[in-house]
Structure 1
Amino acid sequence: MPVENHSSVTEFVLTGFPGLHQEYYGLVSALLFFVYLITMIANVTVIFLFATNRSLHKPMYYIILNLSVCDILFSTTTLPKIISRYWFQSGSISFTACFIQMYFVHYFGTVVAYILFQMALDRYLAICHPLRYSRVLTKSNILILSITAWIAAKACPLMLVIRAYPLPYCASNIITHCFCDHIGITVLACTDRAPYSIPALVFAMVTLLGPLAFIIFSYCSIIIAVRKIANVQGRLKSLSTCSTQLIIISLYFLPRCFVYLASNVGITFSADVRIVIIMLYSLAPPMINPLIYCLRAKDMRESLLKHILSHTVFPFRVFVS
């Protein structure tokens, strides 16, 4: 039987980091703004390099392009509001806007998990089935996989919002977090959370463990395939092609798995520590990922150096002439 919405809450208030003293508000807002600025510049640079260099129009870089777009959208969904919380002491967010933010937080998180699945698939086919790689991972197939990821990821977050929005919110409107998410909102509902939290937990596990199970399988298969290579140099070369993706995948999955496992084995954190951990694994990868591409991926690195040199050497030549 649906719960009638007799909510008396018209807006929510994001606390950010609960134990933070007001004297540090300016510093925190400046730090968060710096993270957002670097994230935007780095990911826009990746998109620009892809758009201006046809040598990057390969399956792996189409996947990276999707990840950069998703990182930009996720950071834009979450960071501006929490920056304003500390910069302008404006932590309030309207009832509906909070649920919209919740939807996009979970949606973009799901899209990233599917994109990392594609990364693992790319390396699995390239190393374990190299003869099939060019036939299976064509540009058209990557496009189909990417579109499927962006569309399929809508279902579960939409279900969470549809089930959580009508709940009665008639008590506190304080969300102890830096952005609206399912747990942060539904704990404020004046009703039993069990019918709503269990499907949310199943959704989180499917989203997290589904792609992760294939990623673990693919890298185990890669290790087995690499061990069959006769010379050491060949093994190292094969493994080096996986290093970029493995670092990115680890940044996304390891902190999340740690938080889920810690909560299940009885390890508890203070509210501030928990929020710091969540912010680190939510906002650090979008900022760090482009740096990893440009440092570890040869084609991306060469493309970046080419653009840098063309804009530094050419003005110098004009000056000399």
Structure 2
Amino acid sequence: MSDSNKTDFTNPSTFILQGIPGLEAAHVWISIPFCTMYIIAIFGNFTILFVVKTEPSLHGPMYYFLCMLAITDLVLTTSTLPKTLSIFWFNSREINFSACLTQMYFIHCFLETESGIFLAMAFDRYIAICDPLRHSAILTNPVVAKIGLAVLLRGCLVILPLVLLAKQWPYCRTNIIPQPYCAHMAVVNLACTDTRVSSYYGLSVLFSVKGLDMIFITVSYIQILRAIFGLPTKDARLKTFGTCSSHLCVILAFYIPNLFISLMYRVGQNVPGHFHILIANVYQSMPPTLNPIIYGVRTKQIRGRLLRLFTHEGT
């Protein structure tokens, strides 16, 4: 019996995305939470952008960085979830080789960009709390724009070698990717050659980019907490800490799942395949869904602007 999963190609024209292998019968049911998350992510992040644009009091560094985060989340969700849902709903499994590499690039580029935005937001909170008198002088609009551009360029440049390496590997085993989108290691693992350089470079990016970002964010928050605990009253401490709470929540929602996924690809051989893939996809979609909710609920200025908007429309 011929094995349709095997072929003799070295440059595949298409890959086949399997969705969640082993759970094909439940794809329609699995699609419900993913579709819900996508709708919330699109609506929530566009709402953040609209609120910041239309409310002059929110035209400041913290909210400009929040807009960058919203745009990044929109790109991340749109890079993966439409194709994922087309697999679940229409069994549309094929993806062009170049499109697969493009999807891989956008996913990982904007994950690195999001990490950089979190670092920029931590820097903003550090200046606002530890050196408030110089905040407006340090984080001017041109400086904020340059930080955003630098973060984007960093993500674009560090991920480019991953895609170039993946493009040059020979794929002579199979063109079936056992998940619903083209993640880096999922594609590279299909190559029929020694791909350790890709794995090592991916790990170096993980630890030198996200790892360093986490270290700098941690250092920033150590200084922030020292400044907060140095305030004279409990009310002042709680009020000041409240300006950081949203940022801390979205950081935890981003870094913990992404580190878990990246390491699970490399050392989680004993994890059942369908569980691994399902959890990875949930974690991939969760931060863009949660970020606008967290900021909308916990940020007084955004919450107030939304209430005024809906109240005005309802009258």
Deviating more after overlay: 156-165 vs 24-33: 24-33
Matches within 5 A, 1:119-198: 119-198=121-200
How much has 1:264 moved relative to structure 2? 7.7
SS in 1 for 2:252: helix
Q: Give 2:4's aligned residue.
A: none
**Partners in 2 of 1:138 and 1:109 — Cα distance?**
26
Partners of 2:185 and 2:265 within 8 A in 1: no
Distance 1:267 1:21, change over 3 A: closer
Partners of 1:262 and 1:268 within 8 A in 2: no
How much has 1:281 moved relative to structure 2? 2.2
Q: Give 1:225's aligned residue.
A: 227
**Partners in 2 of 1:153 and 1:267 — Cα distance?**
28
Matches within 5 A, 1:302-317: 302-313=304-315
Deviations 1:50-89, CA, capped at 9 Å, x for gaps: 1211111111000000010111111111001110101001
Distance 1:295 1:153, change over 3 A: same
Partners of 2:258 and 2:284 within 8 A in 1: no
Partners of 2:20 and 2:27 within 8 A in 1: no
Segments of 5+ residues of structure 2 without an aligned counterpart are 1-8
- 1:19 matched to 2:25: no
Write the letter of the residue equivalent to 1:49.
V
- Identity of matched residues, %: 35
Distance 1:266 1:71, change over 3 A: closer
Write the letter of the residue equivalent to 1:17.
I
Q: Give 2:99's aligned residue.
A: 97
Deviations 1:257-296, CA, capped at 9 Å, x for gaps: 3445667887842122222222222111111111111111
Write the letter of the residue equivalent to 1:13.
I
Q: Give 1:247's aligned residue.
A: 249
**Partners in 1 of 2:268 and 2:97 — Cα distance?**
33
Write the letter of the residue equivalent to 2:240.
S
Partners of 1:43 and 1:68 within 8 A in 2: yes
TM-score, normalization by structure 1: 0.91
Aligned residues: 307
How much has 1:28 moved relative to structure 2? 2.0
SS in 1 for 2:168: coil
**Partners in 2 of 1:230 and 1:264 — Cα distance?**
48
For the aligned residues, what is the CA RMSD? Answer: 1.7
Write the letter of the residue equivalent to 2:128.
A
**Partners in 2 of 1:131 and 1:120 — Cα distance?**
17
Q: Give 1:201's aligned residue.
A: 203
- 1:48 matched to 2:50: yes
TM-score, normalization by structure 2: 0.93
Distance 1:180 1:40, change over 3 A: same
Deviations 1:281-317, CA, capped at 9 Å, x for gaps: 211111111111111111111111111011001xxxx
How much has 1:256 moved relative to structure 2? 2.5
Q: Give 1:10's aligned residue.
A: 13
Segments of 5+ residues of structure 1 without an aligned counterpart are 1-5, 314-321
Deviations 1:79-131, CA, capped at 9 Å, x for gaps: 01110101001111111110010010111101100100011111111111222
